[in-house]
Amino acid sequence: MSKRWKYLLHFLVAVSILALVVPTAAQAAETIKVGIVLPLSGPLEDFGSMEKHSFDMALQEINGGGGIKGKMLEFIYVDDKGEPEVGRSAVQKLINEDHVVMLGGGFSSSVTYVTADVAQQNRVPFLINTASADKITEQGWDYIFRLNPPVSEYTSGLESFLAKVVKPKTAAVIHENSMYGKKAAEFFQKSCNKLGIDVLLVEGYEHGAEDFKPVLTKVKQLNPDILFMASYLMDGSALMIQARELKLTPRLFLGGAVGFTMPEFVQYAGIASDKIMTATLWHQALPLPGAMAYFQAFAAKYNRAPEYHGAEAYAAAYVIKDVLQRTASFESDDIKKALSDTNLTTLFGPVKFTSYDKKTNQNKLTTYVVQWQFSRLKLIWPKNLANADYVFPIDWLSEWGF
């Protein structure tokens, strides 16, 4: 054999050995991919951005701590724009093109119901952290898990406050005609029936509505003790601005969480936001590990106070980490089993997926009552966990500067 051929043979052998011990660039950059579905543009963008920032914070901490099983965790975000068909296409891309091992996120119930169906059909585990319509976990879908409580349980914390403090006789209900809004109104009516409160009016409005004065005028004529509103951010703000303009003064304005807990509610509703009470799923003052630290870190980083939507997303990221650390493999059935076996304490509360009533893979949590006081969202109920006294009764005209 010539020297030339010997040199070539030695070179090829060396290259082959190197290929065995040195990973390719693709192998070195290999990550565990998880798809996160959120409304990152459109009318729900304020919610989506808070949740994305919270996922990002948790992801940085997880990867800074060494990732999962020697690999970095990667969140692939898709924008569902708050539209079901956009969400459907986005999830199909995550599954078929990005080859994610599981899904997270899920904000709007209307969108998430569709995307959860896609995940179930493709046998891809989906950890939902916000979408609240009860029917999402009532389909018998075994690949779908929900971290947050269903909307039927949102007002459980309000019930004792109304019974012990407000003691109203009558109520009116206004709600968006979405899956969330309709169900929130329905279950609040059930709470009223339980408490002996006469519901004088239930009226829905279409997404994007701006003029609420006709329905608010009806409410004023009926003069209920409480007005309950199941609304997102912009419509909730508009409702309160127009209620002030009409000098509508029930004994109490109540929100069904969602738009009424967001920091932008104060910005958009202005003086009409103060002393509004609303259900909530979380508050930074609760005795939960890491709750205040997360709140302070988020506020410092993004110059925006987070609330329960952000806490849900942050907690969901750590549930994802826990599940992927425990799973026997990154195959769907093993991840599903690890989700089923979850028993974890997070800053959002305990996480353990159970089946009850018609629900499967549903986490069960307590809800609370908060009140806007001088542009700060204060935890007022239950009393033993409160970080501020509630303000009630309320002189609305005086509060509004009349």
Residue-range domain boundaries for the chain:
29-149+288-363, 153-280+367-399
Neighbouring residues of 367: CB distance < 8 A, sequence distance ≥ 6: 149, 153, 154, 155, 156, 157, 158, 279, 280, 281
CB 346 within 8 A of CB 319: yes
Sign of the alpha-carbon torsion through 392, 291, 365, 229: positive
Specify the 3-state DSSP secondary structure of 213: helix
Q: Map tokens 């089993």 to a residue.
A: 337
Which of these, 112, 104, 50, 34, lies nearest to 80 by C-alpha position? 112
Q: Specify the DSSP element, H or E, that contains 380.
A: strand 376-381
What is the chain's pLDDT, residue by residue, as a tens digit (402 residues)? 554 444 444 444 444 444 444 443 333 449 999 999 999 999 999 999 999 999 999 999 999 999 999 999 999 999 999 999 999 999 999 999 999 999 999 999 999 999 999 999 999 999 999 999 999 999 999 999 999 999 999 988 899 999 999 999 999 999 999 999 999 999 999 999 999 999 999 999 998 899 999 999 999 999 999 999 999 999 999 999 999 999 999 999 999 999 999 999 999 999 999 999 999 999 999 999 999 999 999 999 999 999 999 999 999 999 999 999 999 999 999 999 999 999 999 999 999 999 999 999 999 999 999 999 999 999 999 999 999 999 999 999 999 999
**pLDDT score recorded for residue 92:** 98
What does pTM read for this prediction? 0.91
Specify the 3-state DSSP secondary structure of 102: strand
Which of these, 354, 356, 350, lies nearest to 341 by C-alpha position? 354
CATH class of domain segment(s) 153-280+367-399: alpha beta
**pLDDT score recorded for residue 251:** 98
CB 130 within 8 A of CB 312: yes
Q: What does the DSSP 8-state code read for residue 163?
A: I
β-pairing, 277-280 vs 252-255, is: parallel
| Residue 171 in tokens | 């109520």
Which of these, 401, 402, 371, 376, lies nearest to 389 by C-alpha position? 371
d(CA 46, CA 391): 28
Options 3.30.930.10, 3.90.25.10, 3.40.50.2300, 3.40.50.10140; which CATH number does 29-149+288-363 get?
A: 3.40.50.2300
Topology alike, domains 29-149+288-363 and 153-280+367-399: yes
d(CA 268, CA 263): 9
**pLDDT score recorded for residue 29:** 44
A 10 A CB-CB count for 27 gives 8
- CA distances to 219, 234, 369, 373, 380 from 243, rounded to whole Å, are 10, 14, 22, 18, 24
**pLDDT score recorded for residue 208:** 87
**pLDDT score recorded for residue 2:** 54
